[in-house]
Structure 1
Amino acid sequence: MDYYDWKSTIKSNLFMLRLIGLWPKGEEGYKVDFYMLYASFLLLTFVLTHIFFQTINIYFIRTNLAAVTGTIYVLLVEMLLLSKVYYLITNMTILKQLLHILDTEMFQPKNSAQILEIESNIWAWKLIYKSFTYSCFGVNMFWAMYPLFDETDRRLPFIAWYPYNTRITPFYEITYAHQIISVSFITIIHVNVDALAAALNVFNGSQFDILEDNLRNLHKLKKNGVVDVRQNLTYCVRHHKHILSFADKCNNYLNWILFLQFFISGVAIGMTMFQLTLVVSFSTEFYAFLTYGIAITMQVFMYTWFGNEVKFKSSKVSYALFECEWIDFSQKVKKDLIFFTIRLQKPVKLSAFNLFYLSLQTFMKILKTSWSYFALLHQVNTR
């Protein structure tokens, strides 16, 4: 079999992360060099300052429920970004090691059927990745447009406090451009950090597909032209152990990200639905809120779907053992098969500190929670 390049499937994802200063060259993390200075400048100019001015403004509008929800639904997701950037940077070496592990012989597909299975998984990831990207930049387009159609004189896309008059030229134009560039930069970070996490789960699930196929063909796998069932089983046991280690390292990186993502997304979706009841229906601002809600929903779905795939694929690996010609195996191999089958009974469940599991059930719970937030805000506002 030819060497399968796992990194090539996410090269556009890694390229975008490198472009925005979040993927230094080499196998290690950041060093004190020009690239670190470049990354610091971008984060300070387009992330920290944008969030800072919006946060300060919360104090001045704290008594206005509609204004607060109109700011905080975006601000919470932007603050979530800071945690994603922090954990990406602090786990940079580990993430690069995980991608390097995929290049080892044990994680390589062994035949064309396994490659086809991997390609189908990656196709699903690319489809969701592109859909998420388009929806996010659709949001940015509406955010950039709706103040221009608003009857209010010189309105900015995002409510924020600035130490100068933003209604006069050239401060209005400069601030307007800074907000749009900042939110576009933040969007690129969100999309590509989330896509990388989803890709790791795709690779994890693909390893279970490879393991399942190898177990199904225990009686066929050849090494140096000879079939040794016991050696093949030992190889599969080691492979399974390495997959569990890979999944555990991925989960350690995702713990805090998932915890904050699920909590903030539930609140943000609820507040977005509330904002939809306050603006003029089918206006440019209405579509800005609508596309934003869709984008946040897709963001949560991307995490839960591919996490659910890991759970599903790991849960059905044990059935592959019954599909091989185990009847003709020796008693020793049969005993080993029984012990390995027992070990395979526990599926891999990716979670946020074992509180929220990456599953479609969790996705539905988040949507229900969002509706509860919306109902509460709507009731308070009506009163």
Structure 2
Amino acid sequence: HLEETTLVFIFTSTCSCGIIKMVFFVRNRQSYSLMAREVAGLIALQNGASSKDPALAAILHDSRKHAFRITMGMLLFMFSQCFIWYPIPIVAHAGERRLPFSQHGWDNNSNFYELSYTLQCVSGLYMSQISFGLDCLFASIMILVTAQLKILRRRILKLHKEVIPADGNDSFRRWDQMPADKCYDNMYERLCLCIDSHQHILRFVKHLQVTMSPIAMTQFASSVVIACMALFQSTYGEDISAALKCASYLPIPGGQVYLYCWAANSVTENGESVSTAAYSCSWVECSARFKHALRILIVRAQKPLVLTAGHLYPINRGAFLSLLNASYSYYALLGQMNKR
């Protein structure tokens, strides 16, 4: 039966994706704990500069707020599906003892109906929240990394504008009021701090890549299949209630893929902007060692910070479009087969 098969497939794929993600998480719990500590370390590393500059502090504050809103919004949207999927079998098929996802063909849902209904509801909600929780975790981390790259870029751009303490008192003077040698020494020291922050960010991105790669690949494969089946059921299904459930669920796999692609693309773009910022700072009249250190920073920052799924598939906006195209291609193929 088309409607039942589609619903079972969507439910099975969602739960399987959640189970696979949970297995990766349990196996690498120490890696996740280390990743959380490293994120806190990245923020603390540039916290001194952020606390002195309201613009930098605003970047960090906005990133935290953005990550919180995205996480809560996605989890609440997923939770809202309960009010569509769970009551429909009782409302649309009253008296038929229908289950939300998979029907028991061997006994026509006659045995342990209430228990089966509860188990399907709880397991579906639990696995979907696990799956969404990990997606939101990685998206939030990438948002915070993007914020650190933005802060670093601004620190590099304003190297020549830094306020430098004068000798012998607590007053402050700008760089153009200081002796040239002392000014350049101060700029070099601040550049070294920026380079150190950049190296910490690069090391963290490598760790993030190793931890996130299998999770992202699992989600990409699952989302393509689920989106294809949900769209097919919404279009060709004769059961209005099943079509409504699939249509309401359709934005979820697309949203999960978009979370990864949008956040990873932001990391890549802001990583490249560090090189531009380094070239745009006031380096022309600086010392030779400043220029040498700046060249090293520019060359290293020109290497793209590309996160991948399964160490094979780059995660960016182009990947999001290609996955949508793949899902629609499978949907079109199923549509042609259904018409025969």
* Category of TM-score, reference length = shorter chain: 0.7 to 0.9
Distance 1:187 1:70, change over 3 A: closer
Q: Using a 3 Å threshold, how does the CA distance of structure 1 residues 194 and 233 change in structure 2: closer, same or farther?
A: same
Q: d(CA) in 2 for partners of 1:94 and 1:222?
A: 40
Does the Cα contact within 8 Å between 1:71 and 1:159 map onto a contact in 2? yes
Alignment partners' CA distance in 1, 2:103 and 2:205: 41
- Residues of 2 paired with 1:100 and 1:176: CA distance? 41
Structure-2 change in CA distance of 1:108 and 1:284 (3 Å)? farther
Quick one: distance in 2 between partners of 1:67 and 1:344?
A: 52
- Cα distance in 2, alignment partners of residues 162 and 110 from structure 1: 64
Residue identity matched to 1:232: R
Alignment of 1:10-49 (within 5 A): none
Match of 1:308 among 256, 265, 280: 265
CA contact (8 A) 2:4 2:103 kept: no
Aligned to 1:25: none
In structure 2, what residue type is equivalent to 1:250? L
CA contact (8 A) 1:214 1:221 kept: no
Q: 2:88 aligned with 1:146, yes or no? A: yes
2:13 aligns with 76
Kindly indicate whether residue 304 of structure 2 is the aligned counterpart of residue 362 of structure 1.
no
Partner of 2:30: 93
Following TM superposition, by how much is the alpha carbon of 1:183 offset from its aligned partner in structure 2, in angstroms? 1.3
Match of 2:337 in 1: 380
Tell me what 1:59 maps to.
none
Q: Distance in 1 between matches of 2:215 and 2:319?
A: 15
Distance in 1 separating the partners of 2:200 and 2:22: 27
Unaligned 5+ residue runs, structure 1? 1-63
Give, in whole Å, the separation in 1 of the partners of 2:305 and 2:27.
25
SS in 2 for 1:295: helix
Distance 1:350 1:224, change over 3 A: farther
Tell me how many residue pairs correspond in the alignment. Answer: 317
What is the 5 A alignment of 1:176-195? 176-195=117-136
Q: Distance in 2 between matches of 1:381 and 1:364?
A: 26
- d(CA) in 2 for partners of 1:358 and 1:122? 22
Code of the residue aligned with 1:124 in structure 2: it is: H
Query: What TM-score, normalized by structure 1, do the two folds share?
Result: 0.76
Does the CA-based 8 Å contact 2:232-2:335 persist in structure 1?
A: yes
**Is 1:275 aligned to 2:217, yes or no?**
no
Q: Retained in 1: the 8 A contact 2:224–2:253?
A: no
Cα displacement (A) at 1:163: 7.8
Q: Distance in 1 between matches of 2:58 and 2:18?
A: 35
**CA shift digits 1:101-158 (9 cap, x unpaired):** 2333424362321121122333333333233223212222111121012337111001
Equivalent of residue 47 in structure 2, options 89, 108, 111: 108
Cα deviation 1:245-279 (Å, max 9, x = unaligned): 10111110111111121112111101101111233
SS of residue matched to 1:101: helix
- 1:174 partnered with 2:131: no
Verify the 8 A CA contact 1:140 1:183 in the aligned structure 2. no
1:196 aligned residue: 137
5+ long unaligned stretches in structure 2: 167-181
Q: Return the match for 1:156 from 99, 103, 113.
A: 99
**CA root-mean-square deviation:** 2.4
Number of the residue aligned with 1:244: 202
The AA in structure 2 aligned to 1:329 is C
Aligned partner of residue 327 in structure 2, secondary structure: helix
Residue in structure 1 matching 2:274, options 309, 317, 336: 317
TM-score by length of 2: 0.85
- Cα distance per residue 1:282-332 (max 9 Å; x no partner): x44333111211111111111111111101111111121234222331122
Partner of residue 75, structure 2: 133
Work out the percentage of aligned pairs sharing the same amino acid.
Answer: 25
2: CA distance between counterparts of 1:107 and 1:209? 11
Structure 1 residue identity aligned to 2:230: T
More helix by share: 2
The letter for the 1-side match of 2:317 is: L
CA distance in 2, matches of 1:128, 1:287: 25
1:101, 1:107 within 8 Å by CA — same for their partners in 2?
no
CA, structure 1 residues 97+221, in 2 after alignment: closer, same or farther (shift >3 Å)?
farther
State the match for 1:117 in structure 2.
59
